[in-house]
Structure 1
Amino acid sequence: MSSEVRTYRVVTRGEFQNLSDDQRTKLRDELDQHDLLLAAYTETGTLSYDAELRPFTIRCLVVQPAGRADQEAADTGALVALELLDAAGLDHHRLRTTASCLEDVKINRRGK
């Protein structure tokens, strides 16, 4: 039985660059809201970073028709990440994106 949609967890990683002093202060003030352990996969993207203010991760949930290529989910997630960074006015570089389809993930259950 095949599903009509496929759900992807998309992760975009990169590095902040050219942050102003005001941006650094704001990011540090909001650090507890962007802890990697609190990161969720959302349609609008969830930004995570640490006190170093260099590497960051954006997690995104993408649902698309089953007939589309996996790469389209990665591309959509990358666009969500770019929109999030642009809306926050955060300069960045070295972006790389990966996508994992939840329907392809195998669950190993112990004791069976």
Structure 2
Amino acid sequence: METLSLFKALSDQTRLTCVLLIHQQQELCVCELMAALDESQPKVSRHLALLKKQKILLDRRQEQWVFYRLNPELPHWYRTMLSDIITQQSEIIQAPFSHLEAMGNRPQRQVKCC
């Protein structure tokens, strides 16, 4: 992963907010991100596809939902930077996090056995 592409991926407010929310929540589905961002499914999906292409996010299917999480192969400094942004600049995700918390009928994650 190139450092420049990792930073370019965060140069858009929607992508930055998605990555920060996913980092904070561990995993989110498209519908949760739509509620948090108050954006349409095509727009959110387009940004998620770019983040996936840059290998920042990984996805998994569970029934009708697609869940996104940070790529575990991201450099440690990148994850630290995301944590620092959440801590130092919490206003970036304050409103989206409130929307997410207010969302009803959030999809249940499958509990992995073993």
TM-score norm. by structure 2 comes to: 0.29
Whose Rg is larger? 1
Higher helix proportion (structure 1 or 2): 2
Higher percent of residues as strand: 1
- Structure with the greater relative contact order (CA < 8 A, sep ≥ 6): 1 or 2? 1
